[in-house]
Amino acid sequence: MQYPTHLLKLIDVLKKLPGVGTKSAERFAFEMVSWPASKLEEMAHIIHKTPNLLQHCLECGSLSDATSCHFCQSSHSRLPLLCIVAMPRDVFSIESTHEFKGLYHVLGGLLSPMQGIGPEALNLPKLKKRIAALNIGEVVIALDSTLEGDATALYLKQELEPLNLSISRLAFGLPMGSSLDYVDGGTLARALSARGKF
* Residue 69 touching Zn ion (CB under 5 A): yes
The distance of closest approach from Cβ of residue 120 to Zn ion in the complex, given in angstroms and rounded to an integer, is: 21
| Binder among 57, 106, 107, 131 for Zn ion (CB under 5 A) | 57
Helical (H) or strand (E) element with 169: strand 166-169
Residue 69 Cβ vs Zn ion, minimum distance, rounded to whole Å: 3
Q: Rg of the chain's alpha carbons, rounded to an integer?
A: 21
* Per rule CB under 5 A, count of chain residues that contact Zn ion: 6
178 φψ region: left (φ > 0), alpha (ψ -120 to 50), beta (else): beta
Q: Does 90 bind Zn ion (CB under 5 A)?
A: no
Query: What is the closest distance, in whole angstroms, from the C-beta atom of residue 169 to Zn ion in the complex?
Result: 22
Nearest residue to 23 (alpha-carbon basis) of 11, 35, 6, 9: 11
Only one of the segments 25-33, 58-66, 142-150, 184-192 lies at the binding site for Zn ion (rule: CB under 5 A); that segment is 58-66
Query: Would you say 156 and 165 are in contact if contact means Cβ atoms under 8 Å apart?
Result: no
Q: What whole-number distance in Å separates Cα of residue 178 and Cα of residue 95?
A: 24
Of the residues 10, 14, 25, 72, which one makes contact with Zn ion according to CB under 5 A: 72
Question: Which parts of this chain interact with Zn ion (CB under 5 A)?
Answer: 57, 59-60, 62, 69, 72
